[in-house]
Amino acid sequence: MSPILGVIASSNYQRKITVDYLVIAGGGGGNSGGAGAGGLRCTVTSTGGGGTLESALILNSGQNYTVTIGAGGSGGNGGDNPVPVDGNNSVFSTITSTGGGRGGKQSGADVGNGGSGGGGGRNRNTQGTGTANQGYAGGLGSTSLAGLPAGGGGGANAVGANATAGQSGAGGNGVATSITGSSVTYAGGGGAGGDTGCAAANGGSGGGGNGSATTAGTAGTANTGGGGAGGLNVSSGAQGGNGGSGVVILRYSDTRTITIGAGLTSTTSAPSGGYKRTTITAGTGNVSWA
């Protein structure tokens, strides 16, 4: 290769950067059914929905790339005031993860589809669907079983549990990834709520909220995309927990320096194992590398 061509090739190489990512959307809001976790897409260890591991992005140095952290959906009330809300999408460059589906209700607004699907509500034989390569479906609620139990929210690694006699469904478990340098589990589904003669259920591993048979369901854990849990399954008071917010984690060579634009909240780790890792927990804005 001529010296001039060698310089050009080296320059082109220096402009490229390989970035691994974990992109998790906000979890859905619970009601009587547990809510679905936010969709999970990842290039390290494993990804959501039992899919094939995602491929790292090859990006240009000095170019801006959009990041958006999806908020969790708000929990609902069995009396339709308020109605539960699906989680919001998270974005990094060309990668979008879909917000988790809201938990189902006894009446009115029904269960939501999403990155992972919401669990069917009390006295509703329904379930929300997940998104391929992001998460799983929620569990079925019941119109006939003792106690009229509700279904658990889907997780990134497992379907939410169906209602059984006297027992509402647990949330589906989340996915473990080592993108941060240690194994952490994210995107668990919310557990369904209970009532007299019907036990509530816990959320899935990875931030899913725990259901309640006496009061409001608990929220999904922030920055895990965990689904909100179902609350007390009475038609006027099944207050569900809010969904957990999403997160974007970026892993790249420790020879590179990242610039975080205004509007984003982030931390960057010290170099380890040849990588730096930047965790973005809130906001919308741009990132770039030098």
* Model pLDDT, residue 110: 83
Residue 208 falls within a domain, yes or no? yes
Backbone angles phi, psi at 71, to 5 degrees: -75, 155
- pLDDT per residue as tens, the chain (290 positions): 444 434 334 344 458 999 999 999 999 999 999 999 999 999 999 999 999 999 999 999 999 999 999 999 999 987 667 889 999 999 999 999 999 999 998 766 689 999 999 999 988 889 999 999 999 999 999 988 988 899 999 999 999 999 999 999 999 999 999 999 999 999 999 999 998 889 999 999 999 999 999 889 999 999 999 999 999 876 556 689 999 999 999 999 999 999 999 999 999 999 999 999 999 999 999 999 99
Residue 12 falls within a domain, yes or no? no
Residue 122 falls within a domain, yes or no? yes
* Global pTM value: 0.94
Q: Where are the alpha helices (DSSP H) in the chain?
A: 3-15
Residue 3 falls within a domain, yes or no? no
Query: What distance in Å separates the CA atoms of residue 184 and residue 277, rounded to the nearest whole number?
Result: 14
Task: Tell me the two tokens of residue 244.
Answer: 């957990």
Residue 10 falls within a domain, yes or no? no
Residue 182 falls within a domain, yes or no? yes
Task: Tell me the two tokens of residue 152.
Answer: 């658990």
Total domain count, the chain? 1
Residue 59 falls within a domain, yes or no? yes
* Model pLDDT, residue 13: 47
Residue whose structure tokens are 């090859």: 58
Query: What distance in Å separates the CA atoms of residue 3 and residue 1, rounded to the nearest whole number?
Result: 7
Q: Which domain holds residue 282?
A: 18-290
Cis check: omega of the bond before 149, within 30 degrees of 0 = no
Residue 11 falls within a domain, yes or no? no
